[in-house]
Amino acid sequence: MANEGKAYSVLASSTLAFTVCFTIWMMFGVIGIPIKTALHLNETEFGLLTAMPVLTGSLIRVPLGIWTDRFGGRIVLFLLMLSTVIPIYLISYATAYWHFLVLGLFVGLAGGSFSVGTPYVARWFKKERQGLAMGIFGAGNSGAAVNKFIAPVLIAAAGWTLVPKVYAGMMLAAALIFWVFSATNPSHNVKSSVSFMAQLKMLKDPKVWRYCQYYSVVFGGYVGLSLWMVKYYVTEYGFDIKSAALLAACFSLPGGVLRAFGGWLSDKYGAYKVTWWVMWVCWVAFFLLSYPQTDFTIKTINGMQTFHIGLTPVLFTMILFVVGIAMAVGKASVFKFISDDYSSNIGAVSGVVGLAGGLGGFILPIMFGAIVDVTGIRSSCFMLLYGTVCVSLVWMHFQFRREGMLAAQASLPA
């Protein structure tokens, strides 16, 4: 019972810590809008501004996962959170574009918390409950929605410069709470005799790269859209920043909170089935969201007649809500693959897969902005995501079909 109590304490404190880290990681998705106006940035520059923290938060994931395997998640996550407090606070005093980019790199370290918390939490639970445990921890992705609730209120009260100051205090408080309520179990660490290169051997396994591609869709897409949707509502539908953030949270909130539900589904039905259906739901939804606002005129027997086709804000938000649910489930199912196939090396593998997903979240907002600058079509971001889902579906179909045939051949009598 004592170990079970520790396990739940670790899960709760880690989830809180990750939620705060993710809230701050997504900060520029909201405060970037007044910064864009003040600095007269174009769409591509805005995309780079929002994505900069995602870059370091992604690149650091592999070493953080390995350090977690070797030294334990408690000390690694605590030091990681403390290292971001000062850079977060200094954003309030930034004035030039390059100031924000450089500080964003340091703030982005908070995004690496996922690769620490995932193996740290998973090892406190039995294998048949790891999917749910990792899903509950991963619900900290809802920090993207928390940011959309908090930041607009602070901006309305005292301008965007108040947000980094409040967030710095949040990070410090969360780090201290985590340290008090978390625990250490030395038996969870990889033995010191295991070399760095030995931990990375699994990267030769093509399955790891397949999981990277899936995760770049469900997590990278989630991060990219979380950073982009507030501005999308402002520019596409004309909402003010508070209303836009609230509507965008309809995607971010289920995309984070329901990750635990995805973990439960993956435990019950298996990672493959769940991921397969997630991709199909996203495929249909992105097809609908891709269609731009369109006016066309046709010649009829009664003369010229004009029609309008386009998603209303309500219908757009409803479809986006479905995408958020699907991505939440998909994020959990991909990590169920990892816990099933690499139970002894979750930290290193989750770091690599998390890196791929994070890099997707870094590249996508920049590509969103660049495509809008080139085409002038705001819904082009969904066209891009539709293409990435198509790649995943084709890859899943042929790869798992091949593995099924090989398994069937192996089971035949000699």
pLDDT interval class at 406 (50, 70, 90): very low
Q: What is the pLDDT of residue 49?
A: 92
Number of domains composing the chain:
1
Cα–Cα distance list, 298 to 20, 61, 257, 291, 303 (Å): 53, 54, 46, 19, 8
Q: What is the pLDDT of residue 403?
A: 52
**Host domain of residue 113:** 2-182+199-411
Max mean pLDDT among 63-77, 95-109, 397-411 falls in 95-109
Give a yes or no: residue 383 inside a domain: yes
pLDDT interval class at 62 (50, 70, 90): confident
Cα–Cα distance list, 303 to 299, 306, 309, 343 (Å): 6, 10, 20, 68
Q: What is the pLDDT of residue 130?
A: 73
Give a yes or no: residue 192 inside a domain: no
Using a 10 angstrom Cβ sphere, with 0-12 exposed, 13-18 middle and 19 or more buried, the burial of residue 358 is buried
Give a yes or no: residue 358 inside a domain: yes
Directed axis angle between helix 313-341 and helix 271-290, to 10°? 150
Q: What is the pLDDT of residue 189?
A: 67
Give a yes or no: residue 102 inside a domain: yes
Distance between CA atoms of 272 and 401, rounded to whole angstroms? 12
- Summarised one tens digit per residue, pLDDT across range 344-377 is 666 667 767 877 888 888 888 889 989 999 898 9
Q: What is the pLDDT of residue 405?
A: 47
Give a yes or no: residue 190 inside a domain: no
Distance between CA atoms of 111 and 105, rounded to whole angstroms? 10
Give a yes or no: residue 379 inside a domain: yes
- Summarised one tens digit per residue, pLDDT across range 269-313 is 888 888 888 889 999 999 999 988 888 888 888 888 888 888 899
pTM (2 decimals)? 0.78
Give a yes or no: residue 297 inside a domain: yes
Give a yes or no: residue 400 inside a domain: yes
Q: What is the CATH number of the domain that holds 121?
A: 1.20.1250.20
What average pLDDT is seen over the chain?
84
Cα–Cα distance list, 135 to 33, 82, 131, 141, 197 (Å): 31, 25, 6, 10, 29
Distance between CA atoms of 162 and 75, rounded to whole angstroms? 30
Lowest mean pLDDT among 60-74, 138-152, 193-207, 271-285: 193-207
Distance between CA atoms of 157 and 144, rounded to whole angstroms? 20
